[in-house]
Structure 1
């Protein structure tokens, strides 16, 4: 490997490294958004199942359901 090939290889590695540094924050942000979306989806599912079971119905003073 001569000097020209070595310089070309080092330049290519530097460009790939800079590209990686520019792309990495975007990838981290996308992954973070996906995690948040899953958490929101799970919370909505849990809320829907609680509403379907009727566990959040308003209660009276002694734990008896109030007439509507």
Structure 2
């Protein structure tokens, strides 16, 4: 291998190294965005439990916090 070939090989390696350094952050960002998009899609899909989803036969009772908030809302409406 001659000196000119060695210099050409070294120059090519340096250029490829710089190219990798410039492209690598964008590739990492693309991979990260795709992962986040996949996680968001999975979070939006309804969960499959293997059985039919039927409403329960017992009635639901609001929590104490809900009753308290409803009482405060009605007092605000009356006073204004």
Q: TM-score, normalised by structure 2?
A: 0.60
Give yes or no for the alignment of 1:60 onto 2:37. no
Q: Which runs of 5+ in 1 are unaligned?
A: 63-68
Judged with a 3 Å threshold, the aligned counterparts in structure 2 of structure 1 residues 5 and 24 are, in CA distance, closer, same or farther, namely: same
Gaps of 5+ in 2: 64-80
Report the aligned-residue RMSD: 2.3
Residue 7 of structure 1: how far off its partner (Å): 0.2
The higher-RCO structure (CA 8 Å, 6+ apart) is 1
Q: State the TM-score, normalized to the length of structure 1.
A: 0.70
Aligned to 2:8: 8
Distance 1:42 1:3, change over 3 A: same
Name the CA shift for 1:54/1:11 in 2 (closer, same or farther; >3 Å): farther
1:42 matched residue in structure 2: 42
In terms of Rg, which structure is larger? Answer: 2
Q: Secondary structure at the match of 1:46?
A: coil
Distance (Å, rounded) in 2 between the aligned partners of 1:54 and 1:14: 64
Query: Runs of 4+ in structure 1 displaced over 3 angstroms?
Result: none
